[in-house]
Structure 1
Amino acid sequence: MNALPDCDIATVYVVDHDAAENDRVRALLAGAGWRARGFAQAESFLAAERSAGPGCLLLDVDLGAPGAGLTLQDTLLAMLDPIPVVLIAGRADVAASVRAMKAGAVDFLAKPLSDEGLLEAVGAAVSLDRQRLGRERASTDVIERAQRLSQREREVMALVAAGRMNKHIADELGISEVTVKIHRGNAMRKMQARSFADLVIMAHKLGMTSPALYHGGIGRHRRETA
């Protein structure tokens, strides 16, 4: 089996003040094929440089002080940090569990940790992060393709996405219907759209459906010259 590219190997950040447990968990995670980095305090995790690849945070609720882990979770939410969080606690704490899940935690595990349960929760969190990165990369690709469009191709793509027929687009832009079809075909090719519906979806993702965005100062009904 081929090895994953280095940037695709998931990193699990273990934030737990219990050094022995931190070491044990990181060894377990490394044995399962993930990178594992350990931190004893929230501040050291926040200050650390993180991998650009997928990952998740395995966070102790208490961190040496009751609720300190939940405070870190709140901080990450305030920072709009998308890292998936799996919370762990030394005792069953229903209130903390409910709060954590409402705040978006992927799972809440009670110590002593089951190896199987831990690996399952981390796997689910890493999978969510891979999906997020996939969506972000897809959006970046669409933006880069759109930058290759000419101004006229962007106008035609926007009007197509807004539901205009070819003859109406031709009238709107002051060009022939044949030329509209050419620009539409060029837009589909450059955007790597597999279908007309695919092109429309891309246009909506890019916000290219507002008349204010496609006119760009071009006079209405200006006829093209040979």
Structure 2
Amino acid sequence: MQDASKFRRTGGSAVESGSSPETDPDRPVVFVLDDDPDVREALSSLLSSAGLRVLTFGSAAEFLKAKAPRCPACLVLDLQLPDINGLDLQQKLAEVNGPPVVFISGHGDIPSSVRAMKAGAIEFLPKPFSDEELLSAISNAIAKDRETTQQRSELARIQKSYALLSAREREVLPLIAAGLKNKDSAAMLGIAEITLQVHRAQIMRKMAAQSVTDLVRMASKLGIV
């Protein structure tokens, strides 16, 4: 099994070892992983003409050594590769927040397509497929990656703010999220209501919450009930 640990996204960006091309955070990139050079060349030409940056690879090992641009991305992945099964690579990439996958295959079958989709693939396209089908799938994958990146970035920001809370403030936050009144929360913690109000104000400030509703939303994202 190839090691996918180098292809790990931290803070919504891909981080790898190795060299990389110039990056533009606003311009998506499509990784094409197929062992057929003719397929790689054809797909590269098509995607480049659509305004997408394209990085092509002939093996999973080559792909995993490359350095990914810090921008929205997706992986067009052949099911059958010389060094690893595409489904196994998909699983490994999912464990390290890899890019959304669009499968292409000339040897696909129903069980493989079902497994791929259940594992989160955006699309499973049997060869031959139309340009429109591929471009549509890639567009959906990139849109999903943008959304996922935004969610990861927001969660990272919330976690950073949460780390600023004191131990007592972390006890108060779930009570606020539960909708308890200050008087009831103070009674549960055995502190004065005025002290509870001070903690509440500090929580709002440290979490950069614009309202109690905003704070409750953040608590929900942190899994605090």
Q: Same fold (TM over 0.5)?
A: yes
- Report the counterpart of residue 41 of structure 1 in structure 2: 59
**Letter of the aligned partner of 1:51 in structure 2?**
P
Q: Report the CA distance between 1:134 and its aligned residue.
A: 0.9
**In 2, Cα distance between the equivalents of 1:163 and 1:155?**
14
TM, length-normalised to structure 1: 0.76
Secondary structure of 1:88's counterpart equals strand
> Which of 135, 138, 144 is the aligned partner of 1:128?
144
Q: Report the CA distance between 1:131 and its aligned residue.
A: 1.2
Secondary structure of 2:202's counterpart equals helix
- Report the counterpart of residue 217 of structure 2 in structure 1: 201
- Report the counterpart of residue 113 of structure 2 in structure 1: 97
**Letter of the aligned partner of 1:179 in structure 2?**
T
**In 2, Cα distance between the equivalents of 1:168 and 1:62?**
61
Identity %: 44
**In 1, Cα distance between the equivalents of 2:131 and 2:166?**
55
Moved more, 113-122 or 28-37: 28-37
1:118 to 2:126 alignment: no
TM, length-normalised to structure 2: 0.76
1:167 to 2:167 alignment: no
Moved more, 9-18 or 146-155: 146-155
**In 2, Cα distance between the equivalents of 1:155 and 1:198?**
18
Q: Name which structure has the greater RCO, CA cutoff 8 Å, separation 6+.
A: 2
1:190 to 2:189 alignment: no
Computing the radius of gyration from Cα coordinates, the structure with the larger value is: 1
Tell me: CA distance 1:137–1:171, structure 2 relative to 1, closer, same or farther (3 Å). same
* Gapped regions of structure 1 (runs ≥ 5): 210-226
Secondary structure of 1:87's counterpart equals strand
**In 1, Cα distance between the equivalents of 2:217 and 2:144?**
23
1:68 to 2:68 alignment: no
**In 2, Cα distance between the equivalents of 1:14 and 1:33?**
15
